[in-house]
Chain A
């Protein structure tokens, strides 16, 4: 059972904005950076956001991250069909002394 909670699913039509939440606690999100990963089944997971809101080179600026207190969010602007994938938040947890991933959110493009 993950300590980072995400909604199981999210959806939108092409061009819409979709937001995914990641809820944690003071021992993880509240005191450490959050990363976001895109995981299309059958392919290598991909880093989307690091240090809460930074995009690696090559990641479209349609993807953005934010953090407030013990929660974080990933926003996808201008949703495209290729964004249909699973998304995971992640952070170091001081209490568990482990790097933990969120429960994952499946994004569907309608």
Chain B
């Protein structure tokens, strides 16, 4: 079965760039859409953006100026970079898969990784 695992630093300083990687197992990354979603502590879910294996991307306009999502098909991974972070970017970050025919059917999700923005 398809499994996703997020990885990256758990602590990032304000104004720096948050970098996370999602490793996909059980399926080729060259077959679906891949999203990043986050959840600040005690708050709801927020979609960040997605990438297709071809490199095509779509970002949430509220974060677009600071977000870059990329894919490495040779490693079966995709990555998130969020620049100029502040405390408001502290959240659990999830990666998720969606099929070609329904880009919003997030299934499955990774377990999530907590990123804290603090000096």
- Partner-B contacts on A (CB < 8 A): 2, 33, 35, 37, 39, 43-47, 50-51, 56, 88, 90-92, 96-104
Is B61 close to A, CB under 8 A? yes
What is the predominant secondary structure among interface residues of chain B facing chain A?
Answer: loop
Say yes or no: B104 contacts A33, CB within 8 Å.
yes
Say yes or no: A96 contacts B44, CB within 8 Å.
no
**Sample of 17 A–B contacts (CB below 8 Å):** A33-B104, A37-B45, A39-B39, A44-B108, A44-B110, A44-B112, A45-B45, A46-B108, A47-B105, A50-B102, A50-B107, A90-B45, A92-B104, A98-B62, A100-B47, A101-B46, A103-B44
Report B99 CB to chain A, min CB distance, Å: 10
Count of interface residues, chain B, beta-carbon cutoff 8 Å: 21
Known: A44-B110, A101-B46. 15 other contacts (CB 8 A): A35-B105, A35-B106, A43-B111, A44-B94, A45-B45, A45-B96, A45-B106, A45-B109, A47-B106, A56-B107, A91-B104, A98-B47, A98-B62, A99-B47, A101-B47
Interfacial chain A residues near B105, Cβ < 8 Å: 35, 47, 50
Interfacial chain B residues near A44, Cβ < 8 Å: 94, 108-112
- Partner-A contacts on B (CB < 8 A): 37, 39, 44-47, 60-62, 94, 96, 102, 104-112
Report A49 CB to chain B, min CB distance, Å: 10
Residue of A nearest to B4 (CB): A44
Interfacial chain A residues near B62, Cβ < 8 Å: 98
Report A92 CB to chain B, min CB distance, Å: 6
Residue of B nearest to A32 (CB): B104
Interfacial chain A residues near B61, Cβ < 8 Å: 96-98
